[in-house]
Amino acid sequence: MTEKACPKCHLISNKNVCPKCKISPLSDDFSGLVIILDPENSLIAKAMDIKEKGRYALRVR
């Protein structure tokens, strides 16, 4: 199964529904990847408004 990204929160998942915000369908048209390990101290997480660890797409179409 291919990975897809949520158009709302940008979380990358291999499921058909976003495990974080429960949106469906997810997009397979995304680019960039950022892995957030420490969202409280990450400037990238703050800029993207990410509050949970995980793999996120930079851009989702």
Are the C-beta atoms of residues 48 and 34 closer than 8 Å to each other? yes
Per-residue model confidence (pLDDT) at position 48: 95
In 3-state terms, the chain is what percent helix, strand and coil (to 5)? 10, 35, 55
Q: What pLDDT was estimated at residue 1?
A: 65
pLDDT for the residue 20:
95
pTM value is 0.90
Q: What is the CATH number for 12?
A: 2.20.28.90
Q: Domain total for the chain?
A: 1
pLDDT of residue 23: 94
Count the residues in the chain.
61
Quote the pLDDT of residue 37. 98
Q: pLDDT truncated to tens, each residue of the chain (61 aa)?
A: 699 999 999 999 999 999 999 999 999 999 999 999 999 999 999 999 999 999 999 999 9
Domain hosting residue 25, numbered range: 4-60
